[in-house]
Chains A and B, each alone.
Chain A
Amino acid sequence: MKMTGAQAVVEILHREKISIAFGIPGGVVIPLFDALYGDKEIKIIVTKHEQGAIHAADGYARSTGNTGVCIVTSGPGATNIVTGLATANMDSVPIVALTGQVPTSIIGNDAFQEADTTGITRPVTKHNFIVKDPKELPIIMKKAFYIAHTGRPGPVLVDIPKDILTAEIDFEYPEKVTILGYNPTIKGNPRQIKRVMETIKNSRRPLIYAGGGIITSNASEDLRKFVKITRIPVTLTLMGLGAFPGTAPEFLGMLGMHGTKTANYAVHRCDLLIAIGSRFDDRITGKLSMFAPNAKFIHIDIDPASISKNVVIDVPVVGDARQILREMIELAEKLDIQDWLDEISQWKKEHPLTYQDDDVLRPQYVVDQIYQVTEGKAIVTTEVGQNQMWTAQFYKFCRPRQLITSGGLGTMGYGLPAAIGAQIAHPDNIVFDIAGDGSIQMNIQEMATISQHNLPVKIAILNNGYLGMVRQWQEFFFGRRYSATCLRRDGRCPGVCNNPGKNCPPYIPDFVKLAEAYSAVGMRIEKKDDVEGAIHEAVKVKKPVLIDFIVSPEENVTPMVPAGAPLNKMISSKEDAQNFLLA
């Protein structure tokens, strides 16, 4: 079949069953958008900034498990998605990003809107391609989709010069591709799985530490079954939240820097740590040499490069978490670990996650109320910082793909565009973006996209007037020197100030007016008593709603493992931090 390169791309999107793409047109991709004009199967969501497009594609992918598609132009269009590619790459999210490129004849000439896109994006993608011959376009696209969603998923970029889009090709789309250098291991080695089960049987204090890999491989049910048989307690990473019910008795909460004391004490004390689909990053391990000092390590992961990267593993198994868990279930039996479970229950009783329950409007209370009012069923996206940690701590996620958050890269400005993708994929779900007043402003322009597509996204801004997480570190570890973190600060403020008060400049912007300017409903809540009602009302309205919660400005996320400390040395206050610094 003869067609242009642009028509071929559209036909390929059809065959890959892509029904939605996020993007912004520009000079060199006009032919591609032309081919998409009036297409009945593919809906194009045009965002206001390319970063919004790639995060929306990411939110779509995370909330469904399907590959997200993003289409942008060359040069600045491509460089604007770099943060989004890196975000998806760190968190293993399948995305195919199509970027336009200047015509092949002038590549390298510093042409208008030319950038070395494959060069720039190589370290932040799973793989990338540039199409130099129109004949190669279909096979490259096939490879891109295949690589993006198999193995450890990730973003794949295809850079398509303009003349490739306009060239006529003899279209043929391969059913299958084989790539010599790419053969992800899916099935776990049976001998290793047997060793895993023997090691588990010989342990007295086993603990499962699971991550996003459980969600990616759709292994939540299997994890639950395995735990039901063996009774091994579970802690989850931020990326893993929802992979195991947040309300289950075997669940100890999140571990790591802002994990629960129970989870971190359990890691410190366990004699066997079973890591599944998690990667021992520094926010999890704290001081590496002191991480789980009494434990043997089992690591189940699809990415061999994750194994023994940071912690030397005793029993590794490479493969898909679900397949391996299923084989483990076959060999599983009830363990005699009652003493260990009792020890954990005691910690749970002694160290629940709490916050001060008084008349002050505290951010944790807002998250708690969102959890209550939505009955724990909302899809929640977050920005990054304190808002993200409070969400992780106080919204008890019970199903996979319910929490959509930038874990690895920690991208502020992620939550709002990600909510677009999640809401489009789940039109009947309540989608909440729990945001900070700092990070929401990094992609606030996407409010327009939300309103234009009548997406009933709910935005809860935990407005403390600070870049709160940085402020918290300044309070704990930098002697309360609030350098560059106050968001009220203007040109008239004194050079040094850590005492916000009545004389402070007014907050800019007025989020309620801003919401209204974007045709959304805006509310401002300043009293604790009004929180529940406002959330109820927001949920009822079939429109986008922004609630500006004016919360206690100097609230901290606790408990906290200071950077470089072992997990059992957690602090809960400024005083603890002082003692930590002095020790």
Chain B
Amino acid sequence: MDREHTIAVLVENKSGVLAHIAGLFSGRGFNIKELSVGETENPEYSRMTIVVKGDDQLIEQIKKQLNKFIDVIKVIDLTNTPSVHREIILIKVKAPPARRQEIFQIVEVFKGKVVDISQSSLTVEVTGITEKIEAFIVILKPYGIQEIARTGRVSIARGMSRAGGIVNG
């Protein structure tokens, strides 16, 4: 049965690694749904959060293929681990002065922030899990969405577990 998996991958922080990982997905016909990358507590390593959809066998194969890469240090499937997931969206919506107040109220409900404002539009930042972001988009749609930029999620296991930490990091 297909289901969404969130996989954190610790990799060497050097050029070519992202291309290599992306190449694995395209070369083997796997689809990346979301991908985010950034440096870790140790600047020698980067952490990728990759969201993929597939059945158990496919996900298992993806994890093994990732593990096979020499530049990959660790692969952590967070799907069944209690974890915190966050994504940021920046959304630019049509907002003539007459409708601004309404939109402000919606933003407040979503604990968002208005980060830019112009004559006819507002840019709003919202952080949260994917469902919340999706809900926010649905609510704003009738006002006229002009542009959306999303980060893709970053994820980390809850509690003291250092599943994603680097050995002797």
Contact = CB atoms under 8 A, between A and B. Distances in A.
Interface of A: 118-119, 122-123, 126-127, 130, 147, 179-182, 303-305, 307-309, 312
B16 A312 contact: no
Interface in B25-71: 27, 57, 60-61, 64-65, 67-71
A180 B73 contact: yes
A181 B71 contact: yes
10 contacts: A122-B20, A122-B23, A123-B23, A123-B27, A127-B71, A181-B11, A181-B12, A181-B73, A303-B68, A305-B68
B67 A305 contact: yes
A118 B65 CA distance: 19
A578 B128 CA distance: 61
Given A181-B69, A304-B68, 19 more contacts: A119-B16, A122-B20, A122-B23, A123-B23, A123-B27, A127-B70, A130-B16, A180-B167, A181-B12, A181-B70, A181-B71, A182-B70, A303-B68, A304-B67, A305-B61, A305-B65, A308-B57, A309-B61, A312-B57
Contacts of A122: 16, 19-20, 23
Contacts of B122: none
Nearest to B71: A181
Interface of B: 11-12, 16, 19-20, 23, 27, 57, 60-61, 64-65, 67-74, 167
Nearest to B24: A123
A182 B70 CA distance: 5
A414 to B, nearest CB: 22
A308 B68 CA distance: 15
Nearest to A143: B70
Contacts, number: 42
A309 B29 CA distance: 14
A304 B69 CA distance: 12
B16 A308 contact: no
Contacts of A123: 23, 27
A180 B61 CA distance: 21
Nearest to B45: A180
B64 A305 contact: yes
B22 to A, nearest CB: 10
A312 B19 CA distance: 30
A179 B72 CA distance: 10
Contacts of A180: 73, 167
Contacts of B167: 180
Contacts of A307: 64
A376 to B, nearest CB: 37
A556 B44 CA distance: 57
A10 B20 CA distance: 30
Contacts of A181: 11-12, 69-74
Contacts of B67: 304-305
